[in-house]
């Protein structure tokens, strides 16, 4: 009789090429959604809204949207332990990742933060190899290397003497936490509709940030239509769409392939910065983007080939 770990691994490689391709596109879509977080958050906080307040309203609005889109009535048929796990993953894991990564910007620039955070695909691959839940093949190592080199070229390797140690610790802490978060999310959301899983995650994160805003005295209703418009985009694009797409893609691809494909996120963030914040589009950004795109295509080719041969 196969072990639960072995059963999950076999289930992934037996997916059809069509489902693998769809899952890859979903992970890319989720990365585009998450990639807009820093730009939208910057627009919101520039208006004077504290970060913890912005995140609280982000998750509250996202929870309301998912409550309408998801079949919340299905919660009755889901074991309570699964519901509790997803809420805790959102309330502790997701909330901590969000806080650590954005708080790191108070100490280090966005470029080094991106470089340090996007070491997480390597940590995910290593963790899954140690747990023997996913094989660390030559193709995956090659794709992982291309993705990490692409991120390095895009944002520039950080210079140790210029970086505040607290910022480095926060950035690496968020990366390591995300390394554990992805496999935990994959396990917890098994056999639960993606929208419903996203709803539970968002509810957990929303509770954490609302309590944080309350205890810090920053819980208030924002004013102004432009501010609410950006908060709505942050909730819809960077939360509802991003989480739902991530969960659907993760269920098919597993943590390693998902982590490698998700490295398209900093490239999209850079492009969005050019379009919205009038940042410069440099040759290094384009070069890094090409390397990351090559890694995604390599993973897609490998996954489709494995699915066709299964």
Task: Break the chain into its structural domains and give their ranges.
Answer: 52-304
Q: At what angle do helices 120-131 and 138-155 cross, to 10 degrees?
A: 160
Nearest CA-CA partner of 276 in 239, 306, 234, 236 = 234
Q: What are 200-239's pLDDT values in tens digits?
A: 999 999 999 999 999 999 988 888 888 999 999 999 999 9
pTM, two decimal places: 0.76
Angle among Cα 144, 149, 154 to the nearest 5 degrees reads 130
Q: What are 143-201's pLDDT values in tens digits?
A: 878 877 877 776 666 655 566 788 878 888 898 898 888 888 888 888 888 888 889 99
pLDDT of residue 111: 65
């Amino acid at each position: 009789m196969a072990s639960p770990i072995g059963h999950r691994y076999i289930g992934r490689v037996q997916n059809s090429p069509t489902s693998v391709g769809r899952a890859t596109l979903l992970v890319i879509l989720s990365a585009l959604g998450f990639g807009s977080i820093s730009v939208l958050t910057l627009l919101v906080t520039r208006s004077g809204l504290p970060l913890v307040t912005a995140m609280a309203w982000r998750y509250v609005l996202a929870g309301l949207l998912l409550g309408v889109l998801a079949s919340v009535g299905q919660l009755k048929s889901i074991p309570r332990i699964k519901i509790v796990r997803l809420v805790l993953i959102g309330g502790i894991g997701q909330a901590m990742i969000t806080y650590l990564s954005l708080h790191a910007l108070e100490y280090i620039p966005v470029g080094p933060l991106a470089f340090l955070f996007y070491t997480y695909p390597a940590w995910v691959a290593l963790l899954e190899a140690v747990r023997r839940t996913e094989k660390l093949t030559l193709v995956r190592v090659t794709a992982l290397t291309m993705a990490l080199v692409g991120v390095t070229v895009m944002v520039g390797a950080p210079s140790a003497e210029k970086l505040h140690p607290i910022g480095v610790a926060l950035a690496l802490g968020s990366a390591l936490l995300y390394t554990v978060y992805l496999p935990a999310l994959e396990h917890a959301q098994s056999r639960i509709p993606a929208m419903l899983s996203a709803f539970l995650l968002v509810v957990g994160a929303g509770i954490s940030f609302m309590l944080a805003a309350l205890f810090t005295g920053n819980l208030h209703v924002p004013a102004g239509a432009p501010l609410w418009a950006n908060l709505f985009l942050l909730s819809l694009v960077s939360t509802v769409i991003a989480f739902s797409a991530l969960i659907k893609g993760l269920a098919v691809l597993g943590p390693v392939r998902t982590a490698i494909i998700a490295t398209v996120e900093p490239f999209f963030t850079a492009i969005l910065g050019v379009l919205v914040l009038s940042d410069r589009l440099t040759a290094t950004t384009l070069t890094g983007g090409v390397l990351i795109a090559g890694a995604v295509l390599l993973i897609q080719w490998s996954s489709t080939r494995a699915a066709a041969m299964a």
